[in-house]
Amino acid sequence: CCVLNEDGKIYFLHGSRGKRSILGSKCTSASLCRVVMEGLLTRCRALPALATCNHQLSGYIPRRFPHCAPGRGKRLVLSCMFQPQNLREDQVLPVEGRSGDLTCKSQRLMLQVGLIHPASSGCYHLLPYTVRAMEKLVRVIDQEMQAIGGQKVNMPSLSPAELWRASNRWDLMGRELLRLRDRHGKEYCLGPTHEEAITALVASQKTLSYKQLPFLLYQVTRKFRDEPRPRFGLLRGREFYMKDMYTFDSSPEAARQTYSLVCDAYSSLFDRLGLRCVKVQADVGSIGGTMSHEFQLPVEIGEDRFAVCTSCSFSANVETLGSSQMNCPACQGPLTETRGIEVGHTFYLGTKYSSIFNAQFINIHGKPSLAEMGCYGLGVTRILAAAIEVLSTEDCVRWPSLLAPYQVCLIPPKKGSKEEAAAELTGQLYDHISEAVPQLRGEILLDDRTHLTIGNRLKDANKFGYPFVIIAGKRALEDPAHFEVWCQNTSEVVFLTKEAVIELLSHVQVV
């Protein structure tokens, strides 16, 4: 391990007590280390802006970080965010009719606020705010999946045709499968799901023992489906993110236990996001298997219909019921029908795929035995859009608190206004929060568009849905200064001192 010392020399750390010596004197592979480190050092010196951005750098404000002034840490400023033009009302492009597509509230808002940008039919660019929210969602998913023993993998999108021919899905999936050939004429599809790939992967491990099972393998990757009617933005795309988990157990009983474990993890995930999903019995469709449930988020524009019994806990997708069925098959009670968005889907597969690909393990009697499988999908990009669909107002995006791209937006006074003297206080508050509430580092945005009135910027902040908007208005000039704090999730507005702001924000959960 080499370090660049304060004196500008490269030191080689050796021994367990962290003794230092100048590189070259004690290092056994000295010349190699020297070449590497000196190369790095040369590059560091050539990039003073990068190397010293967080430190004092007398009078020089590097262009790369326009928000980074001498003596301050990095501040995130709104004016430097990559945000398409369509936020300001006078610049909003008409969303409807752009491509003749049907739209819904979440799609319209996500386009207007600059969360997504259309690329081609059913394909969207995910812009910085959306990527931040999605990364948070993936972290929550990781926590839930790993809490039940999930191990994360990442499989190629390019999936060889022979895998799909083996399961007969090359033909069954029809035109939904996006197919292509490489330069040698070999056929592939872009993975719409990965049962074949994961089962072949597990089958390639010839010495698995029952003692190692269950395996809960999952990934969060792009999926490709040539949907007949891509619509509603991220709700039904042709390229989208899915979390797909595949489980391998040593017996049907164990597999059923795993099945309910994963379903419980899904319920816990939706609880944490504040989304009231209903778990309903579902059709197994082209994936196959013997038992299946969908997690439906009730909302009028949902493309699914499901029935809920008003007297017992029965609920099912109407596809699974006879067309004239009005009563609950479990208790004969009346059924009510609701529309929903399918945000998750679970399947108990049995040996459907393990028998095709010969995914075996050595059982307790020392004999090879087929793994009992389950597969479990969550529509990652669909969950984001569905959450926005159910939580937002007609004009303003609302997020599950945990997923808000930034937790706090600070609005300093307008340039030239009576309150302008409080401008510096906002900057100080920014640094103070970052220091006192470590989980909020990187979560605070300063709306530095001080040519706009506070009112205009508050309106924008409201559209973006930051959980906390903090304004330095008239009362910031009082002694002590009071900041106006808008708490989006409780719809409260309070005036707080710096200390009280910190106390309030210290309770914010960030994932």
Identify which of residues 34 and 179 has a Cβ nearer to ligand ATP in the complex: 179
Q: Which does 197 bind (CB under 5 to 8 A by kind): Mg ion, ligand ATP, none?
A: none
Give residues in contact with ligand ATP (CB under 6 A): 193, 225, 227, 236-237, 240, 242, 342-345, 377, 379, 381-382
Which of 98/229 has CB closer to ligand ATP? 229
What does DSSP say about strands 468-471 and 408-411: parallel, antiparallel, or unpaired? parallel
Residue (341 or 437) nearer to Mg ion, CB = 341
Among Mg ion, ligand ATP, none, what binds residue 237 when CB lies within 5 to 8 Å by partner kind? ligand ATP
* Dist. CA 410–CA 501, nearest whole Å: 12
**Smallest gap from residue 242 Cβ to ligand ATP (A):** 5
Closer CB to ligand ATP, residue 223 or residue 463?
223
Query: What x-and-dash track marks residues 287-326 binding Mg ion by CB under 5 A?
Result: ----------------------------------------
CB of 342 to Mg ion, least distance (A): 5
Write down the least CB distance from residue 316 to ligand ATP, Å.
15
- CA–CA gap between residue 193 and residue 377 (Å, rounded): 9
Cis preceding linkage at 480, omega within 30? yes
Judged by CB under 5 A, the residue of 194, 225, 345, 498 near Mg ion is 345
Query: H/E/C letters for each residue in 23-51?
Result: CCCCCCCHHHHHHHHHHHHHHHHHCHHHH
Q: d(Cα 417, Cα 473) in Å, to the nearest integer?
A: 10
Q: How far is the CB of 343 from ligand ATP (least distance, A)?
A: 5
Residue with tokens 């931040």: 132
> Which residue, 244 or 448, has its beta carbon nearer to ligand ATP?
244
Q: Cis before residue 214, ω within 30 degrees of 0?
A: yes
Out of Mg ion, ligand ATP, none, what residue 194 binds, judged by CB under 5 to 8 A for its kind, is none
Tokens of 277: 């999903």
Q: Where are the alpha helices (DSSP H) in 274-410?
A: 352-357, 380-391
Rounded to whole angstroms, how far apart are CA atoms 197 and 184? 21
Least distance (Å) from ligand ATP to the CB of residue 245? 11
Crossing angle between the packed helical segments 128-147 and 380-391, to the nearest 10 degrees:
110
Q: Is 89 helix (H, G, I), strand (E, B) or coil?
A: helix
Query: Which option in ligand ATP, Mg ion, none does residue 281 bind, with CB closer than 5 to 8 A by kind?
Result: none
Nearer to Mg ion, 194 or 345 (CB): 345
What is the helix (H) or strand (E) element at residue 444, kind and residue range?
Answer: strand 444-446
Judged by DSSP in three states, 480 sits in: coil
Residue 224 corresponds to which amino acid? Answer: F
User: Residue with CB nearest Mg ion?
Assistant: 345
As measured in angstroms, the least distance from the Cβ of 213 to ligand ATP is: 24
Angle, helix 252-273 to helix 128-147, in steps of 10 degrees: 140
**Smallest distance from ligand ATP to CB 173, Å:** 11
227 binds, among Mg ion, ligand ATP, none (CB under 5 to 8 A by kind): ligand ATP
When the beta carbons of 263 and 508 are compared against ligand ATP, the nearer one is: 263
Could you tell me the smallest distance in angstroms from the CB atom of residue 240 to ligand ATP?
Answer: 4
Q: Could you count the other beta carbons within 10 Å of the beta carbon of residue 309? A: 19
DSSP summary character for residue 183 = T
Apex 504 CA angle, 500 and 507, nearest 5: 145
Q: Output the smallest distance, CB 494 to Mg ion, in A.
A: 44
Closer CB to ligand ATP, residue 171 or residue 479? 171
Q: Copy the structure tokens of residue 145.
A: 């999946």
User: Residue 225 binds what, of ligand ATP, Mg ion, none (CB under 5 to 8 Å, by partner type)?
Assistant: ligand ATP
If the CB atoms of residues 350 and 379 are measured against ligand ATP, the closer one turns out to be 379
Distance of CA 169 to the CA centre of its chain: 29
Could you list the residues that contact Mg ion (CB under 5 A)? 345
